[in-house]
Amino acid sequence: MVSSETDQLILVDDRDREIGHDSKAACHDGHGILHRAFSLFVFNGRGELLLQKRSASKRLWPGFWANSCCSHPRRGEDMHDATRRRLREELGLECGLKFLYKFQYQADYDRLGAEHELCWVYVGATDAPVRANATEVADWRFIAPDALDREIAGKPQHFTPWLRLEWQRLRGEFRSELPGARIKEDRG
């Protein structure tokens, strides 16, 4: 197991100022406590995005398709170290990451808890082989951006709420920043 419900996460205010710490479990109870998080979007050389299906053992959104990697910096850990640590732990990957933006969102998952995060969004690219950690990742695949657009439009309930929010913004405002942006997209 690479993460624990007892991990101490960083609580933040609306301006992303650190205001304290609490356990991962407490941060996700009820409607959630605002805490710092990150989402990574990793592309291959063909401009395809690496998606992961969340493990069935995840408390929130188990079995849903999500972006390449998402998690939280722990107490005393900066974002650079946290993003690289988690990319290695979940997918066995290392790659350069470019920060694009941060945003706040809240999403409830049934009565099991919620995400309430101030999330930093990054993109990166690598053709290194994926070595997914089976305790964290049930499945993974690469997908062309246009194909992902169609899947989300046709079956949004198969995808995590943060992926849908972030992907919409990446495909709009940050489209030119995506690795492989100049690669001809699938027009299927």
Catalytically active residues are 70, 117
The SS3 call for residue 65 is strand
Integer Cα distance of 6 and 169 in angstroms = 32
- The two tokens of residue 182 are 């100049």
Integer Cα distance of 41 and 186 in angstroms = 18
Integer Cα distance of 185 and 146 in angstroms = 6
Q: Which residues contact 149 (CB under 8 A, 6 or more apart)?
A: 167, 171
Integer Cα distance of 173 and 153 in angstroms = 19
Integer Cα distance of 178 and 100 in angstroms = 10
CA 23 to chain centre: 19
Integer Cα distance of 23 and 8 in angstroms = 5
The SS3 call for residue 117 is strand
